[in-house]
Amino acid sequence: MATRTPGMGMRRDIDDLDPGGARYWWLFLVTGSLWILFSLVVFRFNINTVIGIAIGAVCIAAGVNEMLTVGASSGGWKVVRGVLGVLFVLIGIVALAYPDRTFVEVAAIFSFFLVLKGGFDVVSALVLRHEVDLWWVPLLVGVAEILLGFWAAGNFGREAVLLVVWVGAAALARGVMEIVLAIRLREIGRPGAPGPPAPA
């Protein structure tokens, strides 16, 4: 649903974000930038010693990030993001508990994270497609995450370097999503942004 704001043209109501959390838009810009930086640094990791720990850390950091997003969300989205955050932290703990497991086991843990995160991004993009101008970015990122998840879960060539690529790609996707969230929060926090509709 679109509303007209004087002097601002057509703007869209954003139902999943709480305008009260818009003042924290910069926080998500910082976390998004850090995720993108991490996606570049991860390729310097020693594959044989730290990749299991890196996967656990990525999943836990993503869970904490989701819990931070709860403060900027509204309605039922708070619950969904909270549950997602807890699941990501649990997946990260499992990955940290078994850092020396085989490639197959670590890839299976990480594939579950990727499919879960990608599924959430796709569903939220489709639900919000009429309210959010940038809805197609989470849709593309979510599809990419799901494809990476199935690639990680499948037996399509078992090389340790693939695990590093999957971690780097997941961190890059997370960074893009955080920056999109920062843009959206900044947009609803601008003066003249539409508030709740007036009662009829």
pLDDT digits 0-9 by tens, 32-84 = 888 888 887 777 766 655 667 777 888 888 888 888 888 788 878 888 888 98
Mean pLDDT for the chain overall:
76
pTM passes above 0.75: no
* Model confidence band, residue 160 (pLDDT cutoffs 50, 70, 90): low
Residue 113 has pLDDT above 80, yes or no: yes
Cα 91 to the chain's mean position, in Å? 15
Residue 10 has pLDDT above 50, yes or no: no
Q: How far apart are CA 55 and CA 70, in angstroms?
A: 23
**Amino acid symbol at 37:** L
At residue 2, the pLDDT reads 38
Among the listed residues 98, 59, 80, the one whose alpha carbon sits nearest the alpha carbon of residue 17:
80
Return the top range by mean pLDDT from 42-46, 105-109, 179-183, 186-190.
179-183
Residue 13 has pLDDT above 60, yes or no: no
Q: How far apart are CA 112 and CA 41, in angstroms?
A: 23
Classify burial at 156, counting beta carbons within 10 Å of its beta carbon; exposed 0-12, middle 13-18, buried 19 or more.
exposed
Mean pLDDT of 194-199: 48
Residue 3 has pLDDT above 50, yes or no: no
Would you say 178 and 26 are in contact if contact means Cβ atoms under 8 Å apart? no
Mean pLDDT of 110-135: 86
At residue 192, the pLDDT reads 60
